[in-house]
Chain A
């Protein structure tokens, strides 16, 4: 259709003369004028439906008065609208009274009816039904989400909302939009997924596709996760672009690669936690109430999935908790090294639990307490005073049934039994607890190997990046200008990471400050006449010092990076690379001199 200029219409609402664009509904104009018209089946992002009729207003056009629903009735020129005339109030009261007869316990209905002075109904009351048949869920699922997973079933007084053929809706994408729009709380997310408290939901990740990456993110701008965004996955929804008034949503935006020329690079690529599924004896992923320390953090956060409440998978409060240290650390089966942070964070977890559930029994199962830091030992002492049970002995197994003959089973079917050897008592023990928290260790980041390869730096046997010298050059790498900091180099806590980060920054600064670098006197050099362009040298150079000139089709050595190790000289099949001051004739001369 051709674009035509929008026609403006004049109308009067409740005595206010106003203008409206052709095609606007009475409700839209009234909202602009801050005139309150009650609605139950209206949401501005779905098409007007006109089912509840609560928004009925009185209009006068050409001297004729009529009752029309303001949500769907389009304004007309010269129209006079009364949103609270006697007639309108009378009808609304009648409709609310009818609603009360069927929905006497629905809060939104009761509240609205009360506003109109309707607290009882003269009609025969029926058992209260939660669903008021407003159809918002059906429409949002169809029009916005595009999933069509909900529909009305039957007709007339028997009408209700259900999934197609009353089965599990295959097209449901569990987005929760229906629950969000439901004005009465008839649809809840539990109804759809039934897993509000299932701990797999605790896995660290955004709860909605649009989120600010983390609380203190800079810039503090929300991002859209294209993997969970309904629009990007199905082409439906798009609700955010409709709500966003500054029109800032851009679905076309793609990830981009930025290339920067820099003089030095600091690698602070962090770590990942040990996956306790690898240690099956602890039951993680198999037993509902075994969670990791990081999941505990997520749950205990006020904006977490449980709103900060510490609960078991069934939603109840645990009365006894075991915190198992050294999961994946100090263990020949997994990682031999100490992760350095677990002792302290385990103490913090015990402290938080003590705060949330004051009467809980809390056990810390440790090999040694390693508290070497400012105020750390004092914190440990405080925990002792808070009545946390410290058991010196590593937890070895978590099970649903006791395995030791000496254990007396507890009369509860949701208990977990943690087996350990109490080395102070010199006997095996089995603790019945409600919940187990695994203090997982630190491991190199998942892509650490890939990063090391790209930057041509070395890794240690445990996978963390190798420093140039463990004592004398802990932030340098063998590649000049590349520094490492934090857990990328090895497990460390926040103060240590901050210190190392600052040191790396200072080292980078010193290079920038000098403005020049001192070259090695002896570096490799390519004889361009002889080089065949086979690129063998590119692969063998451990320092990433060789690049390839596509135009000349020869290898080029960066003198600032070359450490004169000679790998390329030895590898070059055509003998095009030599070391400055060490070409064949010079070496032969040296040999001749030696032998003579």
Chain B
């Protein structure tokens, strides 16, 4: 295929692609995101391909993540505009037959909210989707991420064509006016960063995309790279034009093989079409992007560590008193933005800064992608306008807490973020508000916790994660976190001391104030924020040896409620340590059939998960089997 050389040709080719797409009267879009793949999307795709073989009227798309991971695998049929959820390969012939050939809606595959609740057919009607406003993720369910033609059909690369007709100054002004803030976590003004890079002294300028998404429970960048890789490429080329970039890099963690594959393919196509390479669209811009694979170190998401890693050195941060935008990769001016930030750029150029600022809040305009996970009914990938409240995200989009339990806390900003309580639910989500509340926006991980979560345990988990990931260069992060973790472990084991809380806070303050890089500075956040909002839980652990979430194994004991137990013996079968035994006949009273020997019990919770009668109860503080037996009535 000859290269596209002018803006005019881009336009013509877009129309060509669009008409090619329009030739298909029916489109079936199967979510091929990581979660849906895990639920069987691969087999489903095979089934569809088999069923649709030779059918020229249907375009079958294996798209990127649709977002509603909770009910995957997802299939969307257009123009019927119906969403089928939890689809199995056996359902495929029926879908093809009824929905594709006869335009019928298959009722049993539709999404229902709650037991026998309301049925939703169209994507726009499902509350999970209807409360979102998709910009960056808008094309995810519409296009095949491996097809540049699909992207072009939906107006792809028109922003690039437009930007290249503008002066770099004008492009920069547009981004600055849009007040686009970095989606990687810090929320730094992208326009200001671009300008700093453009004006910094140096021979070569580098454009880098940070796709080293390492937060546990976060998959925003992965989903963008897998679902719409061209939007990131387009954003980066526009950035190169505005900044004067000479070469580009994307740092993708090697744990994202699918993203690597999709992005690699997109790069190849973009080069073929002339959107990368020499003299892009006859503008005189020479620019290409190299893929660099990260080795899985969390700290390499930090800019200076990322550049060292990119250079082939050990990924360790350096003191950044000369900003990395001035002295980044190879100590040359480097503009680093994350995947979502780059993906926003084409939209701003296409629709203008004014449009961008019309969503979101004054200081944090635009939308933000979150991965909503944890104890929430609807887990998945969402994109919402800034300024939306946590309550709207968790209850309207997320559908509330799983199993009708009570909300306890939400962790935003990943391991470096903070734990916010119910009283913070009405806070508008933007960069500054979350920071003030003791948490942070982060790159968009959002972990919801219910009443059965122990915040001390969560703080311990994140602290241990960060100890593992700390590079160990600076003393406060290396030594301070280790001692914080030691104290947390002690508390969860019931060996906490009254002075521990004060010590944790002092230590956390010191680590935050004295650490070298962002990892250390934000590392005490989970501990400090949870102490700030859940001090009583810490005190319960320390003073009463009680875990309010019934999680910390040293502080809980498992028992069988004789009133509920039917003696089915399911628990006895799953117990890996044989702690559950039938009670001898002579000791049976009040319906007591089985008992858990607290001395043997490993507190793995296997019995609780299988008990059909919910007869397994957890007591905290831990009590002996005899004590429970004697006081069972009061304990209930």
Contacts and interface: CB of A to CB of B under 8 A. Distances in A.
Contact of B483 (A49, A50, A98, A154): A98
B515 to A, nearest CB: 7
Interface string A51-93: 1111010000000000111001110000000000000001100
A122 interface: yes
B479 interface: yes
A39 B322 CA distance: 21
A124 B483 contact: yes
B504 to A, nearest CB: 12
A101 B483 contact: yes
A133 B506 CA distance: 24
A502 interface: no
Interface stretch (A155-163, A192-200, A366-374, A422-430): A155-163
A67 B482 CA distance: 22
A388 B474 CA distance: 62
Given A50-B319, A133-B472, A158-B472, A91 B479 contact: no
B516 A53 contact: yes
A94 B201 contact: no
Interface string B465-482: 001111111111011101
Contact of A67 (B297, B475, B479, B513): B513
A339 B516 CA distance: 69
Contacts of B486: 123-124
B478 A133 contact: yes
Contact of B510 (A72, A95, A133): A95
Contacts of B468: 156
B98 interface: no
B573 interface: no
A135 interface: yes
A56 B474 contact: no
Nearest to A23: B322
Contacts of A68: 321
Nearest to A135: B473
B503 A51 contact: no
A68 B513 CA distance: 8
Interface residues of A, number: 36
B513 A91 contact: yes
B470 A91 contact: no
B507 interface: yes
B314 A156 contact: no
Given A122-B503, A124-B486, A156 B475 contact: no
A305 interface: no
Given A98-B480, A101-B483, A123-B483, A157 B510 contact: no
A158 B469 CA distance: 11
Contact of B507 (A69, A94, A133): A94
A386 B611 CA distance: 98
A390 to B, nearest CB: 65
Nearest to A54: B475
A102 B479 contact: yes
Interface in A447-484: none
A49 B319 contact: yes
A74 B321 contact: yes
A127 to B, nearest CB: 14
B467 A157 contact: yes
A49 B304 CA distance: 13
A48 B314 CA distance: 17
Contacts of B469: 155-156
Contacts of B583: none
Contacts, number: 95
A157 B482 contact: yes
B554 to A, nearest CB: 18
A159 B318 CA distance: 16
Interface in B536-585: none
A74 B506 CA distance: 28
A53 B515 contact: yes
A24 to B, nearest CB: 12
A155 B321 contact: no
A116 interface: no
Contacts of A69: 319, 514, 516
A1 B468 CA distance: 42
Chain A CB within 10 Å — which of B471, B514, B516 has the most? Answer: B514
Given A98-B483, A122-B503, A157 B478 contact: yes
B514 A56 contact: yes
A491 to B, nearest CB: 62
A285 B468 CA distance: 52
A416 B83 CA distance: 95
A53 B503 contact: no
Contact of A52 (B314, B319, B475): B475
A152 interface: yes
Contacts of A54: 475
Given A72-B319, A122-B503, A50 B516 contact: yes
Contacts of A99: 475, 479
B513 A51 contact: no
Chain B CB within 10 Å — which of A67, A94, A124, A159 has the most? Answer: A94
Interface in B510-543: 510, 513-516
Contacts of B516: 50-51, 53, 69
Contacts of A52: 474-475
A51 B475 contact: yes
Contacts of B506: 94
A52 B475 CA distance: 5
15 contacts: A51-B474, A51-B475, A51-B516, A67-B513, A95-B510, A98-B475, A98-B480, A133-B472, A151-B314, A152-B472, A155-B299, A156-B468, A157-B472, A159-B472, A159-B478
Given A1-B201, A50-B318, A152-B472, 9 more contacts: A51-B473, A51-B475, A51-B516, A53-B476, A67-B514, A98-B475, A99-B475, A102-B479, A156-B478
Per CB-CB distance, the 7 closest pairs between chain A and chain B, nearest first, are A159-B472, A72-B319, A50-B319, A98-B479, A94-B510, A156-B472, A156-B470
